[in-house]
Structure 1
Amino acid sequence: MKTYAVTVGRALVLGAMALLDAALVVVILVTSLLTFGLGMIFCFPPMVRLLRFRTGVARRLNDTWLGTAVPVPYLPPPLPVRPQPDGWYRYERQLYKTPRWPDWNNRLKWMFGDPATWRDGLWVFFNPLAGTILLLPFLLAGYALLTLRSDLPAAGSPLLAIAVALTLLTTPALLRGYARWNHLLLSPTAKAVLAARVQRLDQARLATVDSQASELRRIERDLHDGAQARLVAMGMTLGAVEELMDKDPAAAKALLGKVREASSTALVELRDLVKGIHPPVLAERGLGDAVRALALDSPLKVTVTVDLASRPDSPVESAAYFSISELLTNAARHGGAERVWIDISSNDRALRVVVTDDGSGGADPSLGSGLRGIERRLAAFDGVLVVNSPKGGPTTATFDLPNALSGESGPDRKSSLPRGKAIIVGICWGLGWLPLFPQGLVAMFMKIFDAEQRSWVLALYLPEPLQWPLIVFNILLGLSMYTAGTLIPVMHARQQRLAEVLPARLWLDRC
């Protein structure tokens, strides 16, 4: 009973908010008419901010109340204008002394050119109609209550019972339809998704470039201070051996022994340096065997499980390998762990790695540079790191690298609608005419013109107070069925297009 009460309450609140959007539509239209022309340029940004505030509330309620997450669809905001070498700021062909007007023009162009802005406006314009449909059972119940309090109590009692039953039965379905309506207009377009992804990849590219530069400096430093210094010392020692070869053979022989030891040490250092760049076992045997070799060298008890149908690309393998290596180092150095479990598997075309240790926990990417470095390394491949590390342990680090594995992708999955959706579409198109035309529109005209022949029109056989509500319900039901039959294939195709530009993990919970 509590669930029904919560559902009814949420439907009433959402419906009332939708009806209040009519006032927002009036404000926008009046402002547009009064400031038509140059004034509209200055009123447009505040109106857009008002629209985005309202749709932001709708997205949050759609996620928390209706269980359908609607991500923010807006294109990335423009970057601040940078001054030219002469100190002036340019916008197209105009120069400005301060960045105020160039930034304002860029933001105006960004708002005006974002398709999500106009989709927000379309949603606000039609949302009162959607709210009316959402409140239709409550309007019917109110009509029945008024009839019960009027001079027709005999007709009002069954009407009220039917209205209450319809309200309880149809409200959850209407809420699901309202959530679909919000998701249809308030979710990102393929262009917005692609722009956001390009921005993230651009940031990841800059971070990767910085990381590569620091890695090259480290390699140069290790070569300069390690192997290079030893090779120089070996050359000087060999020069001394040449001088002592005839004078003191015993001393020359001792120096040759030191040269041999130095060459062995230099070789070990070079191998460690090469291993830090790209381990040979990773190139020869793949990620699974490379991680097993890493586990053998670790002071911890490491259990490795590998279940991969195909081998990832070399850059992806390298990113996954060094990420696992860093996680093992953190578990031994900071977590105080004794055992570590590493699971490497595939999730469709994504490479998934789960590293769990029995350490003390408390790992936080915002506090440690090691986890931040893993995030930057994975971001270059659009990967995501998730760390669950409560105080006291255990610590579980999971990262996914989408599209890392070769294999067949989209065409087989998106060739047709799923069977359930196809059945719904067939029912909507096959039976939608029945409530819309013979039991809806025809009944409406027969009721208006007071036809004596009732024929097969069901509504005309009901008591007078029930006739108009049933006629309206039949018309709305027929329109809803045709709308659903049209929108379900469109939304399915849209989800497939978005899946082509987004990794599957981003749309797993949104579609």
Structure 2
Amino acid sequence: MGTVVAPLERTPFWPPDRAGVVERLRLTGISAAYCLSFAPSLVLGILTVLLVPLYLPTIGFLIALVVIPATAALAGVHRAVSGALLGEEIPSGYADLGSNPVRRAVGWMRDRARWRDFGFLWFSATGGFLLSLLPVALLTGPVTYAVFLVVDTSWVWALLFVLGGPMLLVWWLVTPALVRARAVAERNILGGSRVAELSRRVEEVEETRSETLDHSAAEIRRIERDLHDGAQARIAAVGMSVGLAEKLIASDPEAAAALLREARESTVSALEDLRAVVRGILPPVLADQGLAGAVEALVIGLPIPVTVALDVPRLPAPIESAAYFAVAECLANTVKHSRAERAFVQGTHDGVRLRLMAGDDGIGGADPAGSGLAGVDRRLAAFDGTMRVDSPPGGGTKVSLEVPCPTG
């Protein structure tokens, strides 16, 4: 089983406590860390400029295999830091080029996200460096002057030490704005344009819609097959038995009675088949009692104990159905593959998002790309939902599901 935990809500570091010395010291520390990226950014920027004319020759190809992944790693660190400062996630948007080195090297040149990384390198080595250097210099300047004044009591150091007071005042006033300015600039450079983000989102929606339509078509074929092979065949048998009984009722009442008993048994079996089909489409308990009641009913028949803790109101029927079958698939994987002794299902709804987690204490090692979990992912993607898998070998499995579902 796997876990797809919906993206966690980020608590922004912004706005800072305007009266907090500790907060400004922390922001200055972040600025100092930003400054440290000047050297690798400059080196990688120069190497990138050099490898462009050398890209097709072998040496340029070899440089690219080192420089471009290193640039992506550095940009990833800045995405994380700047995103945390702003309380949002900065997506990378890299094209999926597979694992073939030649294909990746050729694709890098056409990947807009890689060119955004290149722009980030030069921003980090120029304007971004100056933005981050100012808070550090304004804070450390007076401290430096004080040290030199102790060593050398020259009037020059005394004057500079006196001027350090206004510098600290400026540091106090401008540090939050400068740190935020750098974070916003990096978000705009590394995160791409709004148009590109919308284009990517449209592609995801089109892909999800196609997968959903394929899944719906497969479900319709399954229902047709279940009806044809189950209830329809039994009902046809009932009709034949009743017809024969009608012919024999005068000449052989006992045989007619046996045929009618057989017809009655076939009718009961056909009814059970119909109920099974209906449960596969929408369990009646889900329509009557909602998601919490349906999951509680689902776990009763499982061979392992399952703890259910769902604090979820009634939600739109399509959301409830998708969430129910997602949880059902996760529990089915637990029973089939996890060798777990216990499992759990928990969930909440905060008025905006439905968050669910299904887990167990089994052997772990679940594959999110497996047919079962991949189907869960596709089902939730139709509602812009997410799934994340946490399943270390020997450490059990947790599957976290999140679906946007505003109420009220």
TM range (shorter): 0.5 to 0.7
Aligned partners of 2:82 and 2:200: how far apart in 1? 26
Counterparts of residues 238-387 of structure 1 (less than 5 Å): 238-309=242-313, 311-357=314-360, 359-366=361-368, 368-387=370-389
Partner SS state of residue 377, structure 1: helix
SS of 1:276's equivalent in the other structure is helix
Specify the alignment match of 1:422 in structure 2.
none
Give the letter for the 1:274 counterpart.
V
Normalising by the residue count of structure 2, what TM-score does the alignment of the two structures yield? Answer: 0.67
Q: Distance in 2 between matches of 1:363 and 1:146?
A: 58
Larger relative contact order (Cα-Cα within 8 Å, sequence gap ≥ 6): 2
Q: Which has the larger radius of gyration?
A: 1
| Distance (Å, rounded) in 1 between the aligned partners of 2:43 and 2:135 | 18
CA distance in 2, matches of 1:56, 1:142: 34
User: Partners of 2:355 and 2:48 in 1: how far apart?
Assistant: 48
- The question of whether the paired residues in 1 share the 8 Å contact of 2:291 and 2:312 is answered with no
Contact 1:21 1:127 in 2 (8 A): no
SS of the residue 1:355 aligns to: strand
- CA contact under 8 A between 1:11 and 1:175: conserved in structure 2? no
Cα offsets for 1:124-152 (capped at 9, x unmatched):
66324324425525984898599779997
- Report the alpha carbon displacement of residue 389 of structure 1 after superposing the two structures with TM: 3.1
Does the aligned pair in 1 maintain the 2:132–2:178 contact within 8 Å?
no
| CA deviation map 1:165-189 (0-9, x unaligned) | x99xx79x95994465134442435
Query: Who is 2:35 aligned against?
Result: 15
Q: Is the 8 A contact 2:329 2:372 kept in 1?
A: yes
1:224 paired residue number: 228
Q: 1:40-439 counterparts in 2 under 5 A?
A: 57-61=74-78, 63=80, 68=85, 71-72=89-90, 111=112, 123=123, 126-133=127-134, 136-137=137-138, 140=141, 155-156=156-157, 177-178=178-179, 181-187=182-188, 188=191, 189-309=193-313, 311-357=314-360, 359-366=361-368, 368-402=370-404, 404-407=405-408
Hey, what's the Cα distance between the residues in 1 that align with 2:348 and 2:33? 45
CA distance in structure 2 between the aligned counterparts of 1:339 and 1:146, rounded to whole angstroms: 64
Aligned residues: 361
Offset of residue 16 of structure 1 = 5.8
Secondary structure of the structure 1 residue equivalent to 2:338: coil
Give ranges in structure 1 of 5+ residues lacking alignment: 1-5, 30-49, 80-102, 408-511
SS of the residue 1:303 aligns to: strand
Distance 1:346 1:223 in 2: 36
Q: 1:52 to 1:130 in 2, by over 3 A?
A: farther
Secondary structure of residue in 2 paired with 1:396: strand
Out of 231-240 and 265-274, give the one that drifted further.
231-240
Between the aligned partners of 2:252 and 2:338, the Cα distance in structure 1 is 56
Cα gap change, 1:53/1:176 in structure 2, threshold over 3 Å: closer, same or farther?
farther
| 1:142-165 deviation digits (Å, cap 9, x = unpaired) | 9859977999757548968998xx
The residue identity in structure 1 corresponding to 2:253 is P
Matches within 5 A, 1:463-478: none
The one-letter code matched in structure 1 to 2:309 is: T
**CA 1:26–1:287 in structure 2 vs 1: closer, same or farther (change >3 Å)?**
closer
- TM-score, normalised by the number of residues in structure 1: 0.55
Structure 1 stretch displaced more, 177-186 or 283-292 = 177-186
Structure 1 distance, partners of 2:71, 2:162, is 36
Contact map agreement 1:59 1:71 (CA 8 A) in 2: no
What is the aligned-residue RMSD (CA, Å)? 5.0
CA–CA separation in structure 1 for the residues paired with 2:295 and 2:180:
45
| Counterparts of 1:184 and 1:299, CA distance in 2 | 55
Q: Provide the C-alpha distance between the structure 1 equivalents of 2:46 and 2:388, rounded to a whole number of angstroms.
A: 46
**Overall identity of the aligned pairs, in %:** 32
Q: 1:362 to 1:151 in 2, by over 3 A?
A: closer
How has the CA–CA distance of structure 1 residues 152 and 27 changed in structure 2, closer, same or farther, with 3 Å as cutoff?
A: farther
Tell me: CA distance 1:286–1:115, structure 2 relative to 1, closer, same or farther (3 Å): farther
